[in-house]
Chains A and B, each alone.
Chain A
Amino acid sequence: KFSHLKSYFESTDSPEHFLQNTKYNAGDADVFLSTKMAAPLTLLFIVAITIRAVLFRSSLADLITERVEVVSPLNAWKRVVEGLALLDLGVSPYAGDVFHETPLMIYFFHFVIDYAEIVFMVSAVCIVFLLQFRKQKYALEGDRYPLDCLELIRTPREMLYIPLKVAMFYLLNPFTILSCVAKSTCGLNNAVIALFILSTIKGSALMSAIFLALATYQSIYPLTLFAPALLYLLQRLYIPVNWRRPSFWLFTTQYVFMYLGSLAVMVCLSFFLLNSWDFLTSVYGFILSVPDLTPNIGLFWYFFAEMFEHFRLFFICVFQINVFFYTIPLSIKLKEHPVFLIFMQIAIISIFKSYPTVGDIALYMAFLPAWNHLYRFLRNIFLVSVVLLACSALFPVLWHLWIYAGSANSNFYYAITLLFNVAQILLVSDYFYAYLRREHHLTHGLYLKRKDGSEATLVLK
C-alpha cells in the first residue's frame, strides 16, 4: 500500500529533495539566532557560566577534581599540570606514566594554563553553539508520508525549540558541569567532536576531515565517526552509496586522503614538537593496552584487574575491537541517517571505551533532545532513567565506603559500574529501536492492521 512512498523515501539522493531541505535548514538557523531564541539562550548561558564559575571558586572544586567518575588518567587536569611541570623540569612528559595527553594538547595548555577555567567554560559553551546546527530533515517530508504518520513528524515550531533544549541538556547536565569544573580535557575533546559534527553538517568536507583527524588524534576512538561523516557528505552531494559509481569512489578517496593527510600532519607536528615518538606509546598505547586500572565508570578497570594473565591480551583485543566492531553494520543499517549514526557511534564509544568519564556520556546525552520525536517508541526509558540517576548517586557513596570508610570492597563499586553500563546500553539500544520503529512506521503507516483487520503489533523478526 505504501510501496510508492517507500520507494520514494529510499531515493533520498534526489537533488530537489535535498536542495529544499538545506534551504529550509539555513533559514531556520537564521531565524533561531536572530529572533526568538536569543533571549532564553543568553539567559541559559549566563546561568550555566555562573554555576561553573561558582563551583570553580568553591571548595567543591578540589573534591570534584579528584572524582574518578569525572576524570580519568587520560584527561585529568592534575596530569596535564604534571606534564607541564615535567616539561619545566626538562624531563619529557612521556618519560613517565602519568601524562597521556597529546603533544599538541600540552603545547596548547602551555600557553593557556593560566586561563584554564575560562578555556573550559568557553569550550562548554562553544559545544552548545556547535550542536545548534543539527537539523532534522523529517519536517519537510510530511506531505509524502502516510496521513496517519503526521503526528510522528515534528512541526517547525518544535524544531525551533530543539537548539534550546540541546543547549539546556548539555549546559545544565550535571555530568557536563562536573566535567567542566574538574577541568577534564574531555570537554575539549567534546568540543573537537562538536566542531567536526558542525563542519560535516555544513558540508565542508575539508574541515570535517581535519576535525575528525584532530578528534582521532586526541583519542583514537572517533575514528569510527569516519563512516557517518562520509555518508552524510555523500548525501549532501547527492552521491549515492553505490559501489559501481565512480563518483562515490572519487569522493571517498578524496575524503580519506584529506583525513589521513591531516592526521599525518598532526602526528608529524607532534613529533617535531618533542622530537620523539614516545607520545605514540604513551597516548595510543596507553588507550589501547589499558595499563592503568584506576577505577572509573567503564567496564575495563575491574575486568583487567581481575584478569588471568595469559588471557589478558585476548580480552584486551576483544574489548577494543568491540568499540570499532559496530561501525560497519550500523553504517549499513543507518546509511540514510548519518546523524543518528553519529549519535550511535558516540554513544557506543562512550560506553565501551577504555577510560570513560561522565563527560563522554554528557556528549551523547546532548543529542537526546534532538530525538524527542522518538519518545513514544521508547520502551523502558523510565526504568533506564531511574537506574542512571540511582547509579550516579551511588557512585560517590560506594566509592566512599570502599576507599575511605573501608566498610565495603571493590565489588560494590564494580557492581554499580556494571549497572550503570547496562543502563546506558539499554538507553542506546532503546533509542536505536525507537528510531528503526519510527522509520518503519513512516513507511508503513502508524496504525498497522493485521490481515484479519485487527490491530497489529510489531515484532522484530
Chain B
Amino acid sequence: MAAFRSNIFMLAFFLCGFSVFVTGDVQTNQMNVAETVFIDNVPTTETDASPPSVTEQSQTAEEKRLWEGTEVGTNLADGASDNKVDHVHDTMQATDAPPSPPAKDQTQRFAFDERIWEATNVEINLVEDAPPIRDKEADEADHVLDTMQTQDFPPPSTAKDQFQEELVIKPLHSGDIYASFQFRTQWDTDFLLGSKVSHYRLFPKSLGQVISKFSVRELHISFTQGYWRTMQWGQPFLPSPPGAELWVWFQDTVTDVDLAWKELTNVLSGIFCASLNFIDSTNTVQPSASFKPLGVGNVTDQRFLRYAVLPREIVCTENLTPWKKLLPCGSKAGLAVLMKSEKLFHSSFHSQALHIRPVCKDWQCKSTSWELRQTLNVVFDLHTSGQGKREWSLFKMFSRTLTEACPLASSSKVYVDITDNPQGELFELSPATPLVSQAVVLGDGRTYSVYDLTDHATFGQTHSLNVLLRWRAAESGEMLRPLLHGERYVAGYGLQTGEIHTLVYNNHPYRAFPVLLLDTVPWYLRLYIHTLTVTSKGRDNKPSYIHYQPSKDRLQPHLLEMLIQLPPNSVTEVTVQFERALLKWTEYTPDPNHGFYVGSSVISALVPSVVAMDTNNTQERPLFSSFFPCKEESTYFMRIYTEPLLVNLPTPDFSMPYNVICLTCTVVAVGYGSLYNLLTRTFQVEEPSQGLAKRLANIIRRLRGVPLLT
C-alpha cells in the first residue's frame, strides 16, 4: 500500500504508453502491485465514477496533455521504440546528466524518451547559455544531447517544470466558509527568445502560444461572480473585482501594443469562453501607478500595460470548464475533482483567476522561469449552502471528497485556517492532522492545519479525505476590522447629473498610510474633474498625486489615479460629479433601463501590518524583540476593489427612428420651403380668376373663332 499513489498513476501511464514522471521510489515489480492496488481500490472510491473509468479518464487527460505538439505516436506505447529514440536514450545514459533511478524499466525508458523529445525541440541558440558544459562533453555530444544537457542542468533534482496545488479552507466570522484553490505551474523555459517552443508538458500549450505570440510579460485575468464583502469576510487572498478583469504587461519589444492587446483579448475570449472581445479602447486604460508588474523585470513603462474591466461579465460554467482544462490533471484528479460547477456556482462569491508572470528560477535570480497560477476562490453561504448549520465538510461544500493528489503535482496540500481555534475550542476539525503550518498572510500571522495529499496516511482507512469542521460555539469570535476598506455609490437623482462617492476607510488606530485610488469611468459619464473633492475627517485632503486622463467620446474612458494619504482611524470621501450622456440609439445595451455598469475602483496600498499594530502583545516573546515593531512585517501590499456601479442613462425612444427622421426633416423642409418660396417668387397683384362657366364658354368661342368673353 505504500506505493499506492505512484502505482496508480504508473499504471495509467503504462496504459497510455509513456510517462513523464520519474520518481525515485519506483519498484521493479510495480506492475503487479499496481494491478493489485487497482483491485483493492474499487470499494474505497467515493466518487460516482467507477475506478476503471477514473483511470481511463485520467489516462485520456494525460494523453491529451502530453501528446500536444509532439509527434510521438501511440506506437511508442507498444514499446516499439524506433532507433533514433534508442540512440538518444543510449547517449544520454552514457552521460551522467540527471541521477538515474537505480532500476530502469520500460516505463522509465519512455520517460527518458519523453525528455529527449522535449530537448530536441529547443533551438540551438539555447546551447550558448552554458558553454562550460558543452566543452566538457563536446566529444560525444550531438546537438540533441547538448540541448538536453543545457536544459536539465544545473540542479538535476528539480524538474524543468513542476506543478503544485493547494486548497485553503478558512472559516469566516460570518459563519460562511471560504475555500481558495491555487494551482501553480512553473516552467523554466523562455517563450520569447525567438525560438518556437512547441513541446508542452504541464504548462498549457494554449497559454504558452499566447505568451510567445503576443510577447506577453505578465498576464492577469480574473472572472468573478459576486462581490467580496470585506467587512464580513476580511481580506481575500487574491482580490478581484466583480465581472472580468484583465491586465497585461507586454514586453518592451512590442511595437504596436494596442494591436497586440486587441488580438490578445480576442484570443483570450476564445480560450476562456468569455466576452473579453468586448474589451476595446473604450474600456482599456493604462494606469500609471496602480498596476505594477508582479513578476521579475524592471520595465515599468506604462505604455506596455493595458488594464480593462468588464463589470457586466457573468461568470458561469462555460468559463469554468476551459479554466479547468488548463490544469495538468484537468478535473480528473487532485484537488480539481472538487470543482463541480453545480456547487461552485451555488455560492455567495465565486472568483476564478489566472496569473502568468516571470519569476526567479532560484534564489540567485539569474534566470527566470514562467509561473502560471490558477486560483479559484469561493465563499459558501451559511444559509444557502450550509442550511444554516455551522458544519462544513468537503463533501458538503463540493459534493466530492478527495481521494488522491494530482499525480503530476509535486505538492498537493489542503490547509485549514485554525488561527482562531488553537486549542479546538471553537470548532472541531476531523480528521485530525499532525501537520501545522504558520504563515504571515496579509500582514497577519495565521496558523493552518495541513493535509498533505501526497502522503497516503492522509487518506486513512477509507481512502478518501473529507475534512469536516464542526462548530462547538454558536458564535465565532469578533473579527478584527479590516484595516483598509472601500465603498462606492452614486449620489444624486434624475438622469442628468450625478456624483460618484468613494469612501476609503482606514481602520488603523494610529497609523496613516497612503493609498492609490484608481477609477475607470466610461466616457458616457462625463466626469468633471474640477468638482473632485477629497475630504478626511471633515477637512480637505489634497491628493499628493493625480493622474487624470479625460475621456474621448466613443474612444477612451476616464482614468483617474490619485495618491491619497489616509489619516489614522478615518473615512476619506472622494466625490466627483458627472453628467450622463445621451447616446445614439444603437449604442445602448439591449436592456438600456437596467443601467450601465461602471467598473470597480481599485485601491492599492501598503498597509501597516496587524502584527506591527499589536502593541500590548500578550504572547510570550522575548522582551528584546518587542520594543520596535518588526520592520519587514510592518507593511504589506493590499489591493481592494469597491463595488461596481450601476448608472442609468437617459434613453431615446427606440421605436422612433423613422418618425424622428420624418418629423425633423419636415421641420427643416418647412424652413427651406418658406425661404425658397420667398426667395424665388415675387409679389404680384392677384387678378380674379374667371368662373368655370366663363372659361368653358371661352374655349368654345375660341374654337368657333368668335371674340372671347371678358
Contacts and interface: CB of A to CB of B under 8 A. Distances in A.
Interface of A: 66, 68, 78, 81-82, 84-86, 89, 91, 95-98, 291-295, 299, 301-309, 315, 319, 322, 326, 329-330, 333, 348, 351-352, 402-404, 409-411, 414, 418, 421-422, 425-426, 429, 432-433, 436-437, 440, 448, 450-451, 456-461
Given A89-B529, A410-B650, A306 B661 contact: yes
Contacts of A304: 584
B675 A326 contact: yes
Contacts of B650: 295, 402-403, 410
A85 B530 contact: yes
A213 B652 CA distance: 38
Contact of B682 (A68, A95, A409, A460): A460
B529 A85 contact: yes
Interface in B261-277: none
Contacts of B583: 293, 305
Interface in B521-537: 523, 526, 528-530
Interface string B33-44: 000000000000
A294 B548 CA distance: 24
A404 B549 contact: no
Given A292-B581, A414-B660, A461-B684, A422 B667 contact: yes
A348 B523 CA distance: 32
Contacts of B686: 456-459
B685 A98 contact: no
B489 to A, nearest CB: 19
Interface centre among B497, B583, B667, B677 (most CB of A within 10 A): B667
Interface stretch (B111-119, B145-153, B181-189, B551-559): B551-559
B363 interface: no
B582 A459 contact: no
Contacts of B652: 302, 305-306, 410
A450 B687 contact: yes
Contacts of A458: 683-686
B260 to A, nearest CB: 24
B582 A322 contact: no
B656 A299 contact: no
Contacts of A352: 668, 671
A293 B672 CA distance: 24
B96 interface: no
B683 A306 contact: no
B681 interface: yes
A414 B666 CA distance: 14
A186 B530 CA distance: 21
Nearest to B493: A404
Interface string B658-675: 001101100110111011
A271 to B, nearest CB: 21
Interface in B127-166: none
Contacts of B675: 326, 329-330, 429, 432
Nearest to A319: B668
B299 interface: no
Nearest to A415: B663
A95 to B, nearest CB: 5
A402 B649 CA distance: 12
28 contacts: A82-B530, A86-B550, A89-B529, A91-B548, A95-B549, A97-B550, A98-B528, A292-B553, A294-B582, A302-B652, A305-B583, A307-B584, A307-B661, A330-B675, A333-B678, A351-B671, A402-B495, A404-B493, A409-B651, A410-B653, A418-B663, A422-B667, A425-B674, A426-B674, A433-B678, A448-B685, A451-B687, A459-B686
Contacts of A402: 495, 650
A423 to B, nearest CB: 10
B586 interface: yes
A437 B678 CA distance: 10
A436 B683 contact: yes
A306 B551 CA distance: 23
B549 A91 contact: yes
Indicate the member of A326, A330, A457, A460 with the most B CB atoms within 10 Å. A460
A333 B668 CA distance: 21
B664 A418 contact: yes
A308 B553 contact: no
Contacts of A403: 494-496, 650
A304 B584 CA distance: 7
Given A85-B528, A306-B660, 5 more contacts: A78-B528, A309-B586, A333-B678, A426-B674, A458-B685
A438 to B, nearest CB: 10
Nearest to B648: A406
Contacts of B530: 81-82, 84-85
A91 B26 CA distance: 67
B546 interface: yes
B688 interface: yes
Contacts of A414: 660
Given A95-B549, A307-B584, A456 B685 contact: yes
A362 B682 CA distance: 30
Contact of A301 (B551, B582, B688): B582
B671 A293 contact: no
Nearest to A94: B550
A341 B674 CA distance: 16
A305 B523 contact: no
Nearest to A456: B685
A78 B528 CA distance: 8
A97 B526 CA distance: 8
A299 B581 contact: no
Contacts of B667: 299, 418, 421-422, 425
